A and B are shown apart, each in its own frame.
Chain A
Amino acid sequence: MNALLEQFLSESRDFLQGIADKLMQLEENPNSTELMVELFRFVHTLKGNSGLFDFPEMTRVLHASEDLMDAVRNGRVHYSQELADQLLEAMDFVGILMDEVEGTGQLSNQHSEVSAALAQSLRALIVSAPEDSIEIGSDAISILLESSEISIPKTNVTAEKPTLNLPEEIAVELYRTAKSGDVVTLLEYAPEAECFFKGEDPFFLVRQIPDVLWREVTTLNNAPLAEMDAYSCQLIFRVITTADVIELRELFRYVPEQVNFKTLEAASFILPDGEKEEDALQDEFIASALELLNKDDTATLIRSTETMLGLVAPTLWFSSALRWLLIILECDAENQALKRILIESLHTFELPNLTNLAAEIVVEKSPVEEIIEKSAIVLSEKDHARFDMIMKSQRDVLRLPNNNNAVFVGRLKAVATTLKGCCLALNKNSDAVEVEKALETAISENSSEALLTWLANYTIPTEKTVEIVESEKMVKSEQDVEKLIISPEKETHDSSLIMPNRRAEDNAPASKTLKVDQEKIDRLMNLIGEMVVAKNALPYLANRAETVFGVRELSREIKAQYAVINRVAEEMQDTIMQVRMMPVSFVFQRFPRMVRDISRKLGKEVHLVLEGENTEADKNIIEALADPLIHIVRNSLDHGLELPEIRKAAGKPAEGKLLIRASQESDRVLIEIIDDGKGINPEVIKNKAYEKGLIDETTLERISDQDAVNLVFAAGFSTAEVISDLSGRGVGMDVVRSAVEKVNGTVGIESEVGKGTRLFLSLPLSMAVTNVMIIESNKQIFGVPMDMVVETVRVPFDQIQAIKQKQTTVLRGKIVPLLSLNELLAQNIDQIPNEGNEFATLIVRIHGENVGILVDDFRETVDIILKPMAGILGGLSGYSGAALLGDGSVLMVLNPRELI
């Protein structure tokens, strides 16, 4: 994927989110013009961006959205819920398209229907604007123009005769060819003057053109023979052919800028020619011909035209027109308008700019064309049009009134710079000097007049300057021009060199924010992790220096060095952690939209309050948080908050409140989701759990209310009576629990019937460094996350009792089940007690219950960088990952929750 597309996708997602945010804010503040303008700008920019790519389906919808927002912004359409819904839907669609583009690099063509439908429904919301609001705009402009007192000298641009002088019989032949369906192309080839020196033979090239119907070669050379430069090419070839334009382009591929192709329409050949003398019979003929034309009596019209032809001299223009009329009657009999125009032209002997088609050949001489002739630079049709456009724009600028003197002068200068640019681009350096003079006059007179006059004069063809003369002048004035045009500040300023694809942030132009690919951060973190591990090897080394090699001095030095490296490594680690930190708002920002959509669907009224959005945690944690949190919010909306009527009946406000709050507690992030809904009834939960076989009868009777409520986290439990489309997708809160536990988080719930529910998630700030206890079992070492370890005890052999074939012990008056690690790891070996016949036992807390795990021995605790296991090993849920130890060995870290 190219960088531009990547930039587009990344930026557009921000805009989509921004649009959604603004719509949410508008909901609270429907009259805020500021929000409206912002929203418009987002949609507008997004549309502009999409226009750079060939995504018509996307652009269409965005364009309609933009138009709609424009109407809203201007007060022509009122902001409404429906409108917001439509826009959100449109943006969702755009988001889907972006996903596709991101995934496949392109857009399949299957979206056009949806796109059209969306665009249509958006446009349907734009009611026709009241007239007055439009008029204000155009009035402003007309005032702008009318107040301009400057008179514009009319340029007498005379439409010249067609440049192609085709004999009638050839014109007729070309006309018939074009009528028969062949594409007739006029090729104009003006080789550059130096082409002979480049080994080109333009004549040879021209002779390769196939299917030539007409040809012409002219030379601009009219100097006396003795002064002629044989090696400066002054030829212009023109050829009319039916050859394929693609083929022609291929033929001229080395000199594309010197050739011009024009497709000639049949009508463009209809150019009667001859002596323009009146004939006594002509008026009568015209009248009867028009009558026959009205009656659509073609047969009689042909006969009468043929009769007329026999009566007039064939050299007359009249005669020529009659012959054309016959041909048109034969080849294009249906074209009433053309016939009428031709017949009517018999009055005046002028074919009025008849055929817009004929205009193809009769090119109006624009100022630019004059320039070209003088300087003999051949412009392509496109460049030609561009010069023309620039000149016209400058005229428009100059005609504007002086509303603000400072701006006015600046505008004059800018126009002059622009015109000078044009002159220089055309190699007309002397003209650039004139522009400069005109500017000086204009500034001293404080009027655009001088520049306008220059522009106007530029269009009037003066003498046909021979190029040699022109170039002499150029040489003289060139140096002066340089002085005038190059401004004193024109120095390179390397300090301002800025990489083109750097990305600036909208909100803080001065801040140096950098968007970095997450992969790079991850890589950096892995490297730092490895360094931490490598660093840990130093104490081993110091130890070996002392004990094995007996060099105490060296050992001390290594230890001192270690202290330094250790500090730096820790700082690095801290810093990279900071880089990875992101605010919970990343997850929170999607809630307003979600809550709105769901509550609307359910017919509930919900007021969402977000708190502590700036609380930060590791990116992985934040990302892991998203899904569980969404699930919880959906649950609250679905099952927690009641319908407005029910709430009112219960004496609560119709609008329910949902609070999502994030806060930091030492090294953990706490997220609370609090609603003031109906709460969870422990009785219902108990019965349900019993029905589903999750608890037995004794538990049913003895379980506390709080424990009952906790049952919602039990696997296979779902309270929804009706599986709704929202939360009850066959999964319950157990999914939330396991997702949170995966990142070493915990989840809890409190609820009071009729008052509401509070769910809370506690997550580590960072999952990068894990403190583990190393234990030994069956001659292997394993790590156990310290946050799971409640305590370590040594249980004497005789205090282990078997209850229902399960080993237990009593610890401070409570029965604790005991499990052997070897057994959990499917190793049929007994744990080894110490000399005192005590078993090393790790008490871990799992789902609120203490469990003892018997191991062979405890070792030290270490900080490690836990890496999840990849590949086949990743499927082993009993391990949460592996880490490298200082001596280079691998430590497998157990996940007791899954193990048991």
Chain B
Amino acid sequence: MAIEYKKSLAIFSGNVSVEEAEGLLDFFVKNPKGKINVADCSHIHAANLQVLMVVKPIITNEPKDMDLQTWLHIALK
């Protein structure tokens, strides 16, 4: 599982593929205040990025990957 859902927290790990987008969207529809932990995430597919951009969730743990961190900051600004 590239995304592990815990109540109102989505934990991303590794490379999050395009198939996750639907589930992620459902998660946020149910948890509009849901947060994300992307510490161990190296890349998220654009489909997921798009969902995150609309929701702009709070990031509990920043990605270790600096490039991804920069992008997420800009995208979720």
Measured CB to CB, the residues of A under 8 A from B are 191, 196, 200-204, 207, 215-217, 219, 221, 225-226, 228, 230-231, 233-235
Chain A residues lying within 8 Å of B43, measured Cβ to Cβ, are 203-204, 207
With known contacts A201-B18, A217-B71, A217-B75, A230–B50 Cβ distance under 8 A: yes
Q: A200, A216, A228: which contacts B51 (Cβ < 8 A)?
A: A228
Assembly CA distance A230 to B50 (angstroms): 7
User: Which residue of A is nearest B52, CB measured?
Assistant: A219
**Given A196-B18, A216-B74, A217-B71, residue A201 in contact with residue B45 (CB < 8 A):** yes
Given contacts A225-B32, A230-B22, A230-B24, contact A219 B50 (CB under 8 A): yes
> In the complex, A55 Cα to B50 Cα: how many Å?
51
Contact B29 A235 (CB under 8 A): no
Asked if B10 is at the interface (CB within 8 A of a chain A CB), the reply is no
Q: Give A216 to B75 CA distance when docked, in angstroms.
A: 7
Question: With A203-B45, A204-B45, A233-B46 in contact, do A221 and B54 touch (Cβ < 8 Å)?
Answer: yes
User: Are B74 and A228 in touch, CB under 8 angstroms?
Assistant: no
In the complex, what distance in Å separates the CA atom of A233 from the CA atom of B43?
17
The answer to whether B51 and A230 touch across the interface, beta carbons within 8 angstroms, is yes
Distance to closest chain A CB from B14 (angstroms): 14
Instruction: Kindly provide the distance from the CB of A689 to the nearest chain B CB, expressed in whole angstroms.
Output: 98
Please pick, from B21, B70, B71, B75, the residue contacting A230 in the complex, using a CB distance under 8 A. B21
Complex Cα–Cα for A310 and B41 (A): 46
Cβ-defined partner of B54 (8 Å) among A196, A216, A228, A231: A228
Q: A207-B67, A230-B51 are in contact. Are A235 and B24 (CB under 8 A)?
A: no
Residue of A nearest to B54 (CB): A221
Chain A to chain B contacts (Cβ below 8 Å), 30 pairs = A196-B21, A196-B46, A196-B47, A201-B18, A203-B44, A203-B46, A203-B49, A204-B45, A204-B46, A207-B43, A216-B74, A217-B53, A217-B71, A217-B74, A217-B75, A219-B53, A221-B54, A225-B28, A225-B29, A225-B32, A225-B54, A226-B29, A228-B25, A228-B51, A230-B24, A230-B25, A230-B50, A231-B18, A233-B46, A235-B46
**Best-surrounded residue of B21, B24, B54, B68 (most CB of chain A within 10 A):** B54
A806 to B55, CA, bound (A): 121
Given A215-B70, A215-B74, A217-B75; A235-B25 close (CB under 8 Å): no
Task: Other than A217-B75, A233-B50, give 4 A-B pairs with Cβ distance below 8 A.
Answer: A196-B45, A203-B71, A204-B45, A221-B54
Number of interface residues of B (CB under 8 A): 25
Chain B residue contacts of A234, Cβ below 8 A? 50
Give the residues in chain A near B18, CB-CB below 8 Å. 196, 201, 231
B19 CB to closest chain A CB (Å) equals 10
Which residues in B have their C-beta under 8 angstroms from that of A191?
Answer: 46
For A200, what are the chain B residues with a Cβ–Cβ distance below 8 Å? 46
CA distance A233 to B51 in the complex (A): 10
Measured CB to CB, the residues of B under 8 A from A are 18, 21-22, 24-25, 28-29, 32, 43-47, 49-51, 53-55, 67-68, 70-71, 74-75
Within the complex, what minimum Cβ distance (angstroms) separates A240 from chain B? 12
CA distance A203 to B25 in the complex (A): 18
Residues of A within 8 A of B54 (CB): 219, 221, 225, 228
Say whether A215 contacts B49, CB under 8 Å.
no
- Known A203-B44, A207-B67: A217·B49 in contact at CB below 8 Å: yes
With A207-B67, A219-B53 known to touch, is A225 a contact of B75 (CB < 8 Å)?
A: no
Query: From B49, which residue of chain A is reached at the shortest CB distance?
Result: A203
User: Who on chain A is nearest to B22 by CB?
Assistant: A230
Q: Which residues of the partner chain A approach B49 to less than 8 Å between Cβ atoms?
A: 203, 217, 235
Known contacts A216-B74, A217-B75, A219-B53; decide if A231 and B21 are in contact (CB<8 Å).
Answer: yes
Q: Of residues A191, A200, A201, A202, which shows the largest number of chain B Cβ atoms within 10 Å of its Cβ?
A: A201
Q: How far is the CB of B17 from chain A (nearest CB, A)?
A: 9
Given A216-B74, A217-B75, A225-B29, decide whether A231 and B55 contact each other with a Cβ distance below 8 A: no
- Assess the A201–B46 pair: CB atoms within 8 A: yes
* Most B-side CB within 10 Å, residue of A215, A219, A230: A230
Q: Which chain B residues lie closer than 8 Å to A217 at the CB level?
A: 49, 53, 71, 74-75
Shortest Cβ distance from A211 into chain B, in angstroms?
13
A225 and B55 alpha carbons, distance in the complex (Å): 8
A387 CB, min distance to chain B CBs, angstroms: 28
CB of B25, distance to nearest CB on chain A (Å): 5
Shortest Cβ gap from B61 to chain A (Å) = 20
- Neighbouring A residues of B45 by C-beta, 8 Å: 196, 201, 203-204
**Distance in Å: Cβ of B57 to nearest Cβ of chain A:** 11
Which of chain B's residues have a CB closer than 8 A to the CB of A207? Answer: 43, 67-68, 71
Please tell me if the beta carbons of B47 and A231 are within 8 angstroms of each other in the complex.
Answer: yes
Interface centre among B44, B50, B55, B67 (most CB of A within 10 A): B50
Q: Please give the distance in Å from A369's CB to the nearest CB on chain B.
A: 23
Q: How far is the CA of A815 from the CA of B66 in the complex (A)?
A: 116
Q: Assess the A235–B50 pair: CB atoms within 8 A.
A: yes
> Which of B24, B29, B32 has the most chain A CB within a 10 Å cutoff?
B29
Chain B hits for A201, CB < 8 A: 18, 45-46
What's the least CB distance linking B34 to chain A, in Å?
11
- Which residues from chain A contact B50 at a C-beta distance below 8 Å? 219, 221, 230, 233-235
CB of B35, distance to nearest CB on chain A (Å): 16
A234 CA to B53 CA, complexed, in Å: 11
In the complex, what residues of B have CB within 8 A of residue A228's CB? 25, 51, 54
Give Cα A204–Cα B45 distance, bound, in whole angstroms.
7
A215 to B71, CA, bound (A): 8
Q: For residue B21, which residues in chain A have a CB less than 8 angstroms away from its CB?
A: 196, 230-231
Which residue on chain B has the smallest CB distance to residue A202?
A: B46
Shortest Cβ gap from B50 to chain A (Å): 6
Q: Which residue of B lies closest to A214 (CB)?
A: B74
| A204 contact set on B, CB distance < 8 A | 43, 45-46
**Chain B minimum-CB-distance residue to A222:** B54
Complex interface: chain A residues within 8 A of B32 (CB): 225
| Complexed CA–CA distance, A204 and B44 (Å) | 8
Among B25, B45, B46, B75: residue with most chain A CB under 10 A: B46
State the CA gap A196–B18 with chains docked (Å).
Answer: 8
**What chain B residues lie within 8 Å of A221 (beta carbons)?**
50, 53-54
Q: How far is the CA of A803 from the CA of B25 in the complex (A)?
A: 123
Instruction: Tell me the smallest distance from the CB of B30 to a CB of chain A, in Å.
Output: 10
- Shortest C-beta distance, B22 to chain A (Å), equals 5
- The interface residues of chain A lying within 8 Å CB-to-CB of B70 are 215
In the complex, A230 Cα to B27 Cα: how many Å?
A: 12
Shortest Cβ gap from B55 to chain A (Å)? 7
